[in-house]
């Protein structure tokens, strides 16, 4: 028997249970469509205007930069916790990683990605 047999069985049972529940919900639910179900719900307040809102592309640039540096912290924090045990090689590797990230930040800054007015 494989060492991962229990893991595979657990995954199979989990996926099977989810499939059975979804199929049962589709089979036994009442199908009563009406217009109010299809309307947009926003905290109990009736929606005003169109649902298509034009956003400035700058929002996406800031969001992408935020995600970049948020993910960077996922790598830096565990390294910082165990830096002494890892030795000098890990220090050099993290230095190279941070240099690449900050070169990207400098590039974005130079291109004006961090400036709202352009």
> 13-33, pLDDT tens digit by residue?
999 999 999 999 999 988 888
Give the residue from 26, 36, 104 showing the smallest Cα distance to 67: 104
**Band (118; pLDDT cuts 50, 70, 90):** low
Q: What is the pTM of this model?
A: 0.51
pLDDT of residue 12: 97
Between helix 88-110 and helix 57-81 the angle, nearest 10°, is: 170
pLDDT of residue 1: 66
Q: How far is Cα 63 from Cα 42, in angstroms, rounded to an integer?
A: 24
What is the CA angle 92-95-100, rounded to 5? 130
Q: How far is Cα 94 from Cα 22, in angstroms, rounded to an integer?
A: 46
**Band (45; pLDDT cuts 50, 70, 90):** confident
């Amino acid at each position: 028997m494989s060492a991962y047999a229990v893991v595979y069985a657990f995954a199979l049972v989990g996926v099977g249970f989810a499939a059975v529940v979804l199929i049962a919900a589709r089979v036994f639910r009442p199908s009563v469509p009406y217009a109010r179900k299809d309307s947009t719900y926003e905290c109990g307040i009736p929606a005003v205007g169109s649902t298509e809102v034009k956003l400035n592309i700058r929002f996406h640039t800031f969001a992408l930069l935020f995600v970049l540096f948020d993910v960077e912290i996922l790598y830096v924090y565990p390294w910082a916790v165990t830096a002494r045990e890892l030795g000098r090689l890990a220090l050099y590797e993290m230095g190279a990683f941070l240099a690449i990230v900050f070169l990207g930040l400098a590039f974005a800054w130079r291109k004006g990605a961090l400036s709202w007015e352009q």
